[in-house]
Amino acid sequence: MDSVKQTLRRTHRYRLYPTAAQKTALESQLAFACELYNAALEQRQDAWRRQRRSLGYVAQCRDLTDVRADGLGPKLMNCHAMRDPLRRLDRAFSAFFRRLKAGQKPGYPRFRSRRRYDSLTWDSGWSLNKGKLALQGIGHLRVRWHRSLPRGADLRTVTVRRCAKTWHVSFALHRPKPTPLPHTAGAVGLDLGISTFAVLSTGERIPGPRAFRACHRRLRIAQRRVSRLRSERTSVYAAIGQIEMSMPRVIWSGSERAVRRQRGPRGASVA
């Protein structure tokens, strides 16, 4: 129990730069994982509707063995990556029954669209080789190491996520809890504002990054290009592609990473 208290669970996220062939392999594995998720959900529904029998994660993993024996799915896809949709579905049903027991809105698990199934987790079948992430069935992917992984950390899982037109990898790790800094008698007040991000009691002002305004400017410029290129079909599609890259920066639900990346470091330094 003491070892658990002295351990922190953290996730470090990095940008991936897969090649065209690696993108195709990743999208193929994501599509098959989505099919597994929907098939497993349908299997649970049919088992309960016809036989009043509940299926669990272990039983569906046994059926997955038959699927692999028949050669279904992408070539060289890792077994643990195939189990990830089954684990995800099992967590969804556990949360459903927990909310049902608590008298909350249950939220029964739903079938997933390929457009909404954007991540896959490996707990084995991956490695780090010369600064690249090696995934079974994918290859060696180039990673942008904007910061190094903490030394002495215990890497548990790797999750690859598709965000709009970019790819990211998240390393879930356990690391020892750092020693807290000694207490000091000094104190400072902090007031968060609108025009200014924060004002300290010492008089120091921390300006805001204005991430949304910067992203909105890119979208406005791309929209102007579309309006000027109505007569040229190919050029219009090229300009629309730039809008699709700019829209997720403005719409939070599309891809919050741009605004959060610009706001996060400054907010973390103050906190």
Task: Write out pLDDT tens, residues 236-253.
Answer: 556 656 555 554 444 433
Quote the pLDDT of residue 252: 34
Quote the pLDDT of residue 234: 55
> Going by C-beta distance under 8 Å and a sequence separation of 6 or more, which residues neighbour residue 16?
133, 141, 142, 143, 144, 160, 166, 167, 168, 169
**Global confidence as pTM:** 0.72
Quote the pLDDT of residue 238: 60
Quote the pLDDT of residue 171: 96
Count Cβ atoms below 10 Å from residue 88 Cβ, excluding itself. 19
Residue 134 has pLDDT above 70, yes or no: yes
**Pairing mode of beta strands 139-144, 198-200:** unpaired
Share of the chain above pLDDT 90, in %: 51
DSSP strands (E only) in the chain: 7-17, 119-122, 126-129, 132-135, 139-144, 154-163, 166-176, 190-192, 198-200, 205-206
Per-residue confidence at 266, pLDDT binned at 50, 70, 90? Answer: very low
Amino acid symbol at 190: L
Per-residue model confidence as pLDDT tens digits over 170-206: 999 998 888 888 888 778 888 888 778 888 888 888 8
Across the range 163-175, mean pLDDT stands at 91
Quote the pLDDT of residue 99: 95
Cα 51 to the chain's mean position, in Å? 37
Count Cβ atoms below 10 Å from residue 25 Cβ, excluding itself. 21
Across the range 219-240, mean pLDDT stands at 63
> Which tokens sit at 264?
């996060």
Quote the pLDDT of residue 245: 52
Across the range 92-114, mean pLDDT stands at 94
DSSP three-state, residue 107: coil
Report whether 259 contacts 252 (CB < 8 A).
yes
Quote the pLDDT of residue 202: 85
Mean pLDDT taken over the chain: 82
